[in-house]
Amino acid sequence: MRIVIINGPNLNLIGTRSPEIYGTTTLDELEALCHGWGVEAECVIETYQSNHEGDIIDRLHAARGADGVIINPGAFTHYSYAIRDAIDAIGLPTVEVHISNVRDREPWRRVSVVSDVCVSTIFGRGIPGYRDAIRHLTARAAWPVETIAYGPDSDNVGDLRIPRGESPHPVAVLLHGGHWRDTAARDLLDPAAVDLTRRGWATWNIEFARVGSGGGFRSTTADVAQAIGSLSDFAEGHELDLSNVVVIGHGSGGHLALLAAVGKSEVPISAIVALAPIGDLEAAHEAGVGDGAVEAFMRRTPEQSQERHVAASPIMNLPLGVPLLIVHGDEDERVPVSISRSFAGRAADEGDTVVYHELEGVGHEALTDPTMPAWVKVIDEVDRLR
Ligand code: DQA
């Protein structure tokens, strides 16, 4: 697989340009990192930088024949229809990357004229955003994906992957983490989705409104419910087994997975797999999880009623009435393992069927990373659920 990475104007100055926004990594270092990530992903990376619109367009044209493009068009993002048209014209899967959180800066940076011709937009993750873009392109190449809209908003979409083999297929709905913030997106679960699909699960890796892009308790949970319910719209055409739908969530996505059991879903949920979930909002808030993430998600001010918080916290809604598999690493640096320990105990006390695994020496990300042994443990248990 061959991927062309194009950086636009002023990105030659990163390292010294506004380091408080772009960090201290230089362009040379960034490109070296990308080549390394390419080796890991078994693909060839070509890098290019220019400050000139026409040169970027020429490089895009010359990329025809490659398998994908990653482009950070710099300020051209916000107004260059010529670059947008070039991306569209070459017809290669293209990922738009921004080092900074363009949605949290000057209003004009929120506008991107290239997003609609890109398969994904990654922003606000710093330099690792390029690594995630490489992973996204390799995941797309590894298993065909159909992106389906389940609602009217741009975040109301999901990636459906259909396994080979006998149908109807059991379904795994995937809910990514990232503290409910919009800098995180469903590409984070691409590797897990590909692996689950290889193992015979149809995967529905969904996007939803997040904090920063219209998300918050009400709108985010409404999106998740709609996305799960929408499975019935395309189940028949894709031979999905709707009596076998497992919802798998990671971190804040684990919180959303647990809450999915609380709402009345149009499509019944057969089991919930919560990986390092935020099962208790109050405890997460007290532990400072995600640096104010709970308050931002709840849009909470001191005047707001406690009631709203109760509705949003899975531990306050037990029993959930759905079989639960909870896995948490005891070295999780994002969500304290103590939250799952007490959640699992309380859920069992309240009458839920709970399988709880605490994995020794395992951190947060390993639980969804198919290259890590922790994932093997997760997948063994998930496979038992079908
Ligand atoms: C940028 C964001 C743009 O708004 C800006 O003009 C850049 C860099 C980023 O990587 O965050 O030059 O694309």
Mean pLDDT score, 132-155? 97
Ligand 1 close to Cβ of residue 154 (< 6 A): no
Ligand 1 close to Cβ of residue 99 (< 6 A): yes
How far, in Å, is the centroid of ligand 1 from the Cα of 109? 8
143-173 b/e (C-beta count within 10 Å ≥ 16 → b): bebeebebeeeebbbbbbbbbeeeeebbbbb
For a substitution probing ligand 1, which of 13, 49, 56, 72 has the most ligand atoms within 8 Å of its CB?
Answer: 72
Under the phi-then-psi rule, with left for phi > 0, alpha for psi from -120 to 50, and beta for the rest, what region is 321?
left
Of all atoms in ligand 1, which is nearest to the CA of residue 101?
A: 11
Ligand 1 close to Cβ of residue 77 (< 6 A): yes
In this prediction, residue 236 carries a pLDDT of: 96
pLDDT band at 263 (very low <50, low <70, confident <90, very high): confident
| Lookup: tokens for 314 | 């899975």
Q: What helix, strand, coil percent values describe the chain, rounded to 5?
A: 40, 20, 40
With a cut of 70, say whether residue 307 has pLDDT above it: no
How far, in Å, is the centroid of ligand 1 from the Cα of 172? 36
| Lookup: tokens for 116 | 């609609």
Mean pLDDT score, 101-125? 97
How far, in Å, is the centroid of ligand 1 from the Cα of 8? 9
Whole-angstrom distance, CA of residue 385 vs CA of residue 382: 5
In this prediction, residue 162 carries a pLDDT of: 98
**Catalytic site positions:** 22, 98
pLDDT in tens, 202-231: 999 999 999 999 999 999 999 999 999 999
pLDDT in tens, 44-91: 999 999 999 999 999 999 999 999 999 999 999 999 999 999 999 999
Ligand 1 close to Cβ of residue 17 (< 6 A): no
With a cut of 90, say whether residue 334 has pLDDT above it: yes
How far, in Å, is the centroid of ligand 1 from the Cα of 289? 28
For a substitution probing ligand 1, which of 22, 27, 56, 98 has the most ligand atoms within 8 Å of its CB?
Answer: 98
Whether 226 and 174 have beta carbons less than 8 Å apart is answered as: no
Ligand 1 close to Cβ of residue 197 (< 6 A): no
How far, in Å, is the centroid of ligand 1 from the Cα of 188? 22
Ligand 1 close to Cβ of residue 100 (< 6 A): yes
pLDDT band at 302 (very low <50, low <70, confident <90, very high): low
With a cut of 60, say whether residue 321 has pLDDT above it: yes
In this prediction, residue 306 carries a pLDDT of: 61
User: For residue 202, how far is the Cα from the chain centroid?
Assistant: 17
Q: Is the pTM of this model over 0.75?
A: yes
Of all atoms in ligand 1, which is nearest to the CA of residue 123?
A: 11
How far, in Å, is the centroid of ligand 1 from the Cα of 41? 26
Under the phi-then-psi rule, with left for phi > 0, alpha for psi from -120 to 50, and beta for the rest, what region is 124?
left
Whole-angstrom distance, CA of residue 182 vs CA of residue 214: 9
Whether 170 and 204 have beta carbons less than 8 Å apart is answered as: no
pLDDT in tens, 152-210: 999 999 999 999 989 999 999 999 999 999 999 999 999 999 999 999 999 999 999 99
Ligand 1 close to Cβ of residue 51 (< 6 A): no
Of all atoms in ligand 1, which is nearest to the CA of residue 22?
A: 11
